[in-house]
Structure 1
């Protein structure tokens, strides 16, 4: 069963039976707030996740993500949650410091 672990949200674990779904959809369906200023359309980078482990469990880079990589706004270990789809296995991620929401308590 695919699983997302958000390390700096006190290792919040989200298990799902859904495959080929956008990471942000899985996160939001499990009542975890995650920044997305452009409405999940891939027009900004505010929904960026830092992938600590499990990059191979995500879909290929989208055109939007490639665009932001060319601009230097998305590093090799970063993906957009509104673009990347979870394929299988475990995904260990972190919320980017710049896009932490003020009403959430974040761990290390």
Structure 2
């Protein structure tokens, strides 16, 4: 089963079931707060994650992700969790700009 390891949330492991349309849905199902300002529609970059390992285990970039890369708002090692489909094990972290003030992040 595909999975997401969130390194700076104390290595929280999230299993990604077939019915999840994207990584954000899987994360939210585990009751993990994850920033997203546009309702998860790929219109902003607030839900981005930094890829630490397993970049090849994401599906191809969505149109929104390509657009943000072209604009310089999404780096090569980042994906939008509302757009990214996970097809294997990936390890990510929450970038500083996308952290919630009420949450404790590990190093």
Same fold (TM over 0.5): yes
Q: TM-score, normalised by structure 2?
A: 0.94
Spell out structure 1 runs of 4+ moving beyond 3 A: none
Structure 1 segments unaligned to the other structure (5+ residues): none
- The Cα RMSD (Å) is 1.2
CA offsets, 1:18-68, max 9 Å, x none? 366300000000110100001101010000010111111111011110110
Structure 2 segments unaligned to the other structure (5+ residues): none
Question: What is the Cα deviation at residue 102 of structure 1?
Answer: 1.1
Aligned length: 107
Identify, as 1 or 2, the structure richer in strand. 1
Question: What is the Cα deviation at residue 105 of structure 1?
Answer: 0.5
Q: CA–CA distance in 2 between the matches of 1:90 and 1:70?
A: 27
Contact 1:48 1:96 in 2 (8 A): yes
